């Protein structure tokens, strides 16, 4: 009897444990699920309605910006250097963008068009906008060949052109215009960069390529509509543009500088950062923040970045590798980049 009772008791004991074990397993599974998906469970910064995205892709010392509209129209402005092509394409793939409605080469320097050939090979591009400035480099010739092969024809940018991306979202060409700016103090190719203005409700953004001082002076004398909420700072924050008069007219609330953590030009220049700080902008830099995204729904906007940046670093310029006490561009100024 004692043996039989003992077995019954043992069975009864195991039965009593089962709900407890099941409970522990269920709690552990719930915790595992929570930790596994906690990022997905966290509510994304909410912007209601139709959202437009502007991405500054971190391509190091170069430029590449992507506009994606609520109806999934996509515009790529520059594609970084040749080695950045795969990075730009990976960025497009991550957003599941299989075709670009428009690709723009602001001007024919390698840190803007080097990656374009790779992009054209990998992604369907419907239209291609070029500044119309010819260049003698192999990089430029290769890009033209890739455009001929994959797009067919090139549209030359002219101030006054307007691309309607979605209902209520427009991309306007503010420059260059004829006659070309010539014999400027820096680079003529930079000075005649394509200048674009994006508009969506109360959000607006200016893309300036590698504009020079003379480019800004022309925009001001033309009374071009440069008053915007966000500014893609010209020429990686070079001291030769983003001048005071220009900032006073543009009145940006947000400014984005695209530059490399190491670059021999000393971009961004301390003088430019000081001007931007005095203008009261909220500043973002790809060398510190990595990829930067502005989301705008026509009323509000949210800026997100891949990394955080300390305020002290944000307003500190870089020095060129060559010894130059001015802390700005190399003596004699680089003609390219």
Instruction: Select 52 or 57, whichever has its Cβ closest to Zn ion.
Output: 57
Q: Is 213 in the site for Zn ion (CB under 5 A)?
A: no
**Least CB distance to Zn ion at residue 237 (A):** 11
Q: Which residues of 60-95 are buried (b: 16+ CB within 10 A; e: fewer)?
A: bbbbbbbbbbbeebbbbbbbbbbebbebbbebbeee
3-state SS of the chain: helix, strand, coil percent to 5? 35, 20, 45
By CB under 5 A, which span of 23-31, 181-189, 208-216, 266-274 interacts with Zn ion? 208-216
**Least CB distance to Zn ion at residue 238 (A):** 9
* Cβ pair 198, 53 in contact under 8 A: no
By CB under 5 A, which span of 10-18, 33-41, 117-125, 209-217 interacts with Zn ion? 209-217
Sign of CA dihedral 49, 171, 122, 289: negative
- Binding to Zn ion by CB under 5 A, coded x per residue (else -) over 99-138, reads ------------x---------------------------
- Residue 82 has what DSSP assignment? G
The rounded distance, in Å, linking the Cα atoms of 138 and 193 is: 19
Instruction: Select 78 or 101, whichever has its Cβ closest to Zn ion.
Output: 78
Q: Is 291 in the site for Zn ion (CB under 5 A)?
A: no
**Least CB distance to Zn ion at residue 211 (A):** 10
**Least CB distance to Zn ion at residue 234 (A):** 9
Instruction: Select 76 or 295, whichever has its Cβ closest to Zn ion.
Output: 76
**Least CB distance to Zn ion at residue 84 (A):** 12
Beta strand 52-56 with 74-77: parallel, antiparallel or unpaired? unpaired
**Least CB distance to Zn ion at residue 220 (A):** 22
209 token code pair: 């390529």
The rounded distance, in Å, linking the Cα atoms of 197 and 131 is: 15
Q: Which of residues 298-337 bind Zn ion (CB under 5 A)?
A: 337
Size of the site for Zn ion (CB under 5 A): 3
Burial class (CB in 10 A: 0-12, 13-18, 19+), 20: exposed
Residue of 58, 78, 84, 210 that binds Zn ion (CB under 5 A): 210
The rounded distance, in Å, linking the Cα atoms of 188 and 257 is: 21
Instruction: Select 52 or 76, whichever has its Cβ closest to Zn ion.
Output: 76
By CB under 5 A, which span of 91-99, 153-161, 203-211, 311-319 interacts with Zn ion? 203-211
**For binding to Zn ion (CB under 5 A), which residues are involved?**
111, 210, 337
């Amino acid at each position: 009897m004692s043996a039989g009772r003992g077995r019954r008791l043992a069975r009864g004991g195991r039965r009593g444990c089962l709900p407890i074990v099941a409970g522990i397993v269920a709690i552990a599974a719930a915790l595992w699920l929570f930790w596994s998906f906690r990022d997905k469970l966290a509510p994304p910064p909410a912007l209601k309605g139709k959202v437009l995205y502007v991405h500054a892709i971190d391509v190091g010392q170069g430029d590449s910006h992507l506009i994606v509209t609520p109806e999934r129209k996509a515009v790529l402005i520059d594609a970084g250097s040749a080695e950045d092509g795969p990075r730009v394409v990976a960025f497009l793939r991550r957003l599941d963008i299989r075709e670009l409605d428009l690709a723009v080469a602001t001007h024919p320097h390698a840190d803007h068009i080097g990656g374009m050939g790779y992009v054209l090979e990998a992604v369907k591009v419907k239209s291609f906008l070029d500044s119309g400035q010819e260049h003698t480099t192999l990089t430029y010739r290769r890009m033209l060949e890739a455009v001929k092969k994959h797009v067919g024809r090139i549209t030359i940018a002219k101030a006054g052109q307007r691309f309607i991306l979605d209902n209520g979202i427009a991309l306007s060409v503010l420059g260059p215009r004829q006659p070309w700016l010539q014999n400027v103090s820096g680079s003529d190719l930079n000075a005649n960069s394509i200048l674009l203005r994006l508009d969506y409700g109360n959000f607006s953004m200016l893309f300036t390529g590698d504009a020079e001082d003379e480019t800004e002076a022309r925009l001001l004398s033309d009374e071009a509509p440069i008053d915007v909420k966000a500014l893609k700072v010209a020429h990686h924050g070079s001291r030769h543009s983003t001048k005071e008069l220009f900032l006073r007219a543009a009145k940006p609330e947000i400014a984005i500088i695209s530059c490399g953590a190491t670059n021999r030009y000393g971009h961004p220049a301390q003088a430019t950062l000081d001007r931007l700080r005095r203008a009261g902008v909220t500043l973002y830099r790809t060398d510190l923040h990595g990829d930067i995204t502005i989301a705008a729904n026509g009323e509000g906007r949210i800026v997100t970045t891949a990394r955080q940046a300390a305020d002290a670093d944000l307003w500190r310029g870089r020095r060129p590798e060559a010894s130059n006490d001015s802390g700005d561009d190399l003596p004699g100024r680089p003609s390219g980049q």
